[in-house]
Structure 1
Amino acid sequence: DAGSVLSFAYSSVRGYGDVHPTLGELRVGYLPVEVKHPLTGEAVEIGEILATECEMVSRVQVDEQAQEEASLPKFGLGYGFCFGQSEVKAMSMSMLDRVLSAAKESGVHGESGSAANEEFVLLHVDGIEASGFTAHYKLPHYVSFQADISVLERTRKHRAAQFAEAVEKRQQRINTMEAFHALNEENE
């Protein structure tokens, strides 16, 4: 997961996007885990988890027309959070958050790179989905492969029949032309 999030975030700052963030704050620490007590209804701390949180700031890109309508340039905030200590993942998430937010704000989805397309990012950042789909190729695919072979064979037979028919029609035209020439020679 961290690798795919990092790849999308990196693509947004290296040539396929216009988000150049500045690290606002990066925090790593333990957070309390609380649950509601079933009898008293009060919050009870049952433990703690290690987490990483990041805020990135970047200038909001405004086109010239919007610049005239809106008054001043501004900054936008990107936020990232993950369990455990993973500064790179949290930073990458905050960069992606900024890229996707900028795309939504400007109404430009995916035009400045794949990291600006929310659907594309969400479908491809899921490591479990991606590894599961890729791993399924290890399973026997003889049924679908056999179906592909059948289609290929039918196509070849169909094309061979079309070619044979075209050759036969051409030969018939040649025979007709020869017969016509022979008939003309007899009549002269």
Structure 2
Amino acid sequence: MALRGPRVWLWRWRRNPLKRRADRVEAWVVLGVWTLTVIVGVLAGTSVSRSVEHGLARERVEWRPLVARLAEKAPGTTSDNDDVSRAEHVWAEAQWTAADGSAHSGQVRALAGSAAGTPITVWTDREGRQVTRPVTETQARVRAVLIGGVAGFLAAAVPLAGGRAVRRRLERRRIDQWDAEWSRFGPMWGRTTG
């Protein structure tokens, strides 16, 4: 491991008669890696974010609510309280007709004890298959930013890790060169002149 002194800004770019070729190469590697890391991270994050937001916007346009009817009485008993908790909702079989006239059925959340034929709103795609309620524009923006940020961070980690590996190899090579030079010149220090 190399000894490190106080941090000096832009030290890699300053003139120094002791600077070796490996030091200049490392300076360019560091500059290139950081530039590539920023560019890759921003491009990946932006493109993924746009893709997610576009997909969610398409869902908001294509997915439609339909009225389904319970095919059977929902399990459980009806509560007399008007303020129904989410725990009093149960899964029940419902049937609906898609926009193209095809019949569909599936499990929906309904109040416990609801009678057969009770209307329930379901969201469907173009083919009439049941889907979840689409996210709002604000929720889509937040989701796109979060997913884009994670994708950008992960994409930026690739050139950063590659740069770290190259720098580690340059550091090892530089240490080996110093060892070779010390073994060559070290014994001369014991001699006295005069």
Which TM class, normalised by the smaller chain length?
A: under 0.3
Query: Taking structure 1 as the reference length, what is the TM-score of the superposition?
Result: 0.25
Query: Taking structure 2 as the reference length, what is the TM-score of the superposition?
Result: 0.25
Larger strand share, 1 or 2: 1
Greater RCO, 1 or 2 (C-alpha within 8 Å, sep 6+): 2
